[in-house]
Chains A and B, each alone.
Chain A
Amino acid sequence: MERLIDVKDLSFTYDSEPLFSDISFSVNEGDFTAIIGSNGAGKSTLMRLILGELQPDKGSISLFGQDVRQFKDWHKIGYVKQSGLQEAINFPATAKEVVMANLYSQIGKLRIPNKEHKRKTLEALESVGMADFAESPLSEMSGGQRQRVALAMLLAADPKLMLLDEPVSGVDSKNVTALYEILTRLNKEQGKTILMITHDTVRASNYVSRMLCIEDGCMLEEGLGHPDVIGHYHKHHSLNPCHDNCEH
């Protein structure tokens, strides 16, 4: 099974404060992995490092077997940022326009979308249950619907690896379950590999195949089944889920 993300001995300092040091983990093809940890533990920073937006102090990150600094196949990776499309609430665009934008690498520079791109767009919206909203503007959608459009945006590009930074934040309880079900379906039926940052530990544990915990500057429970991590999470309270296991 291909190793899609390989993080080795990674250290990062933020504003002269070490955020984490010597963390290592990997994500294999077909995994549905959640990263948990308290606020400020460095989860989103880790995501930015994986995306090559930040440079680590030490260690290495490989994507699809290539060092992230040389990695060029970004079309293989789909990313939904922490706020998804929530910031775009007043952006005058329809769901269809937004989803099609992410087909950029397939459409190509200075070219216009063809029928195939339009079909892929509608298929992606359909797979997240938003086909009826294709022509609806983002401003007329709920938070949950905008989050689904963000997912459709990612799916349209058909990435092998999906990186999701708190995909259910700001989404009401009913829609959270629906979103997790969509992610599970994508993972199981379409074989998408998912790495997801979440605070929603309890519900996420029902869907993911694996949980990693980042806390006090180190990564814990790598390789353990999720019940162990959840146990730690509840034992030590959500603010510091796994600190007693940290060696630093």
Chain B
Amino acid sequence: MAIFEFEFMRRAFMVGIMLALIIPCIGVIVVLKRLSMIGDSLAHTSLAGVAAGLILNINPIAGAIAACIAASLGIEYIRKKLPKFAEMSIAITMSAGIGLAGVLSGFVKNSANFNSFLFGSIVAISDFELRLVAIVCAIVLLAFVLLYKELFFISLDERLARLAGVPVWAVNFIFTILTAVTVSVAARTVGALIVSSMMVIPTACAMQLAKSYKKTVLYSIGFAVLFMVSGLFLSYYQRLKPGATIVLIGVVCLVLILIVKNVARRIKKRRLMRKG
């Protein structure tokens, strides 16, 4: 296929599929813990880290990772202090992140580099970024498999998990770091403004169809890979922005699933009424 003749597209597919494998793993837990907006909050905060990195002349991805880790620990801290208003912790951190990113971006000399983090640049992946995504992908997948039952139980009920002996604090801490690192790396490739949707939409689609937790995880990964691959193809042939195309395909798919489910439910109801 012509699309694969280009090295940058082959890299885009490699990085895209690796991210599509790990973002839903984080996304499922985030959605089930009712912290869907955490990706958005961290992605915005990562911009502050990117700006700080560019100003201090250090790798902007390292800056993004540091900012994301600080923000996610901040979210976890506020969530513990205000357990009944968990979502407020995200709003507070996001406000702080946007404010900081806004102020710091004024001092960045190369604004083009900063802007590439807003919408990502999946078709301009460097060797370093490819290696970084591969390492992060391996770590996140390994951690997700090893902590599968712990993450499931904590998402279901943190209190019961603690009573059953799950090391809740340690698992939450590891998950927080993994989320921060995943968001930072994904922000560089698919864009800070889009990474949150990549976490939530595949999970939302999966939850419409799956009847178990295991299937929800597998379907989420399946949907994410589907959106990523079809988004890259479509964006290449139609000359669209890849990150935005990937997300829009996900949104269209979710809307279609909801419509089909609704129609199927009505048909089933009518049949039952006729029988009754």
Hey, which bits of chain A sit against chain B, CB under 8 A? 51, 53, 74-75, 77, 79, 81, 87-88, 91-94, 97-98, 101-102, 104-105, 107, 109-110, 112-113, 135-137, 140, 153, 157
Contacts and interface: CB of A to CB of B under 8 A. Distances in A.
B160 interface: yes
Given A97-B214, A101-B164, A104-B166, 7 more contacts: A92-B32, A93-B212, A101-B149, A104-B149, A104-B153, A107-B149, A109-B150
Chain B: interface size category: 20 to 34
Given A91-B32, A107-B149, A109-B167, A101 B211 contact: no
B163 A74 contact: yes
B188 to A, nearest CB: 31
B163 A51 contact: yes
Interface in B202-228: 206-207, 210-216
A89 to B, nearest CB: 12
A166 to B, nearest CB: 15
23 contacts: A53-B159, A75-B164, A77-B163, A87-B157, A92-B32, A92-B206, A92-B207, A92-B210, A92-B212, A92-B215, A93-B213, A97-B213, A98-B156, A101-B152, A101-B153, A101-B161, A101-B164, A102-B164, A105-B164, A107-B149, A112-B149, A137-B211, A140-B211
Contacts of A113: 149
Contacts of A81: 157, 159-160
A116 B100 CA distance: 53
Given A88-B157, A92-B207, A92-B212, A97 B152 contact: yes
A74 to B, nearest CB: 5
A38 B34 CA distance: 32
Top 10 nearest A-B pairs (CB, nearest first) are: A93-B213, A104-B164, A105-B165, A92-B216, A101-B153, A137-B211, A94-B212, A110-B146, A97-B213, A92-B207
Contacts of A137: 211-212
Contacts of A51: 163
Contacts of A105: 164-165
Interface centre among B32, B155, B161, B163 (most CB of A within 10 A): B163
A14 B161 CA distance: 26
A74 B159 contact: no
Interface in B156-185: 156-157, 159-161, 163-167
A81 B163 CA distance: 12
Contact of B156 (A79, A93, A107): A93
A118 B32 CA distance: 24
Contacts of A53: 159
Contact of A74 (B165, B212, B216): B165
A91 B213 CA distance: 8
B159 A92 contact: no
Contacts of A94: 211-213
A61 B2 CA distance: 73
A53 B150 CA distance: 20
Given A104-B161, A104-B165, A105-B164, A91 B156 contact: yes
Nearest to A90: B207
Contacts of A92: 32, 206-207, 210-213, 215-216
A101 B154 CA distance: 10
A157 B167 CA distance: 17
Interface centre among B149, B155, B206, B214 (most CB of A within 10 A): B149
B156 A74 contact: no
A136 B212 CA distance: 8
B147 to A, nearest CB: 8
A104 B216 CA distance: 21
B35 to A, nearest CB: 14
Nearest to A157: B164
A168 B144 CA distance: 36
B265 to A, nearest CB: 13
Nearest to B164: A104
B194 to A, nearest CB: 24
A91 B156 CA distance: 7
Interface centre among A75, A81, A91 (most CB of B within 10 A): A91
A140 B265 CA distance: 14
A2 B210 CA distance: 46
A22 to B, nearest CB: 27
Contacts of B212: 92-94, 97, 135, 137
